[in-house]
């Protein structure tokens, strides 16, 4: 799949300092406009790093978008990963419509809403601010 390859293309694991490693996980997401955004993780001491999915989401938001059609994350060796709970939560909080995001997983594809059963935001109606 093209999205998996886009995530693999940003993998470049390396140590930036004694306490920071980067790009051991890559992520790619396709917005509903069709644009692909990518990001890498930053693993840092004191818990101040962030996941690759967060970096990709930040790139998307910087470009003025918030709705995600599909997304994937890959490990340092290119293996597809599940998004962690923090990443799932971010994706839905930036736009509750992202419950319909197709998440590429090791065993197939599932909707984000299926990965967040009984989520407190999904199913609610919100007005844009």
In the predicted structure, residue 51 carries a pLDDT above the cut 80? yes
- pTM for this structure? 0.92
Residue 117 confidence class, pLDDT cut points 50, 70, 90: confident
Enter the tokens of residue 21.
Answer: 């490693």
Query: Among this protein's residues, is 5 annotated catalytic?
Result: no
Enter the tokens of residue 40.
Answer: 């890498």
- Cβ neighbour number for residue 37 with a 10 Å cutoff: 22
Q: Higher confidence at residue 1 or residue 71?
A: 71
State pLDDT tens for residues 58-71: 999 999 999 999 99
Angle separating helix axes 85-94 and 52-62, nearest 10 degrees: 10
Catalytic residue selected from 21, 53, 65, 89: 53
State pLDDT tens for residues 2-29: 999 999 999 999 999 999 999 999 999 9
Domains of the chain: 2-115 (3.40.140.10)
């Amino acid at each position: 799949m093209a999205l998996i390859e886009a995530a693999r293309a940003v993998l470049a694991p390396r140590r930036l300092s004694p306490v920071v490693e980067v790009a051991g996980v890559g992520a790619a997401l396709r917005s509903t406009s069709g644009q692909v955004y990518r990001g890498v993780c930053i693993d840092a001491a004191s818990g101040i790093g962030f996941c690759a999915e967060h970096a990709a989401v930040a790139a998307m938001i910087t470009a003025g978008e918030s709705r995600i059609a599909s997304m994937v994350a890959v490990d340092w060796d290119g293996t597809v990963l599940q998004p962690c709970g923090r990443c799932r939560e971010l994706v839905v909080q930036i736009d509750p419509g992202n419950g319909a995001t197709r998440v590429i997983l090791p065993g197939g594809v599932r909707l984000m809403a299926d990965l967040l059963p009984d989520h407190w935001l999904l199913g609610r109606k919100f007005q844009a601010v």
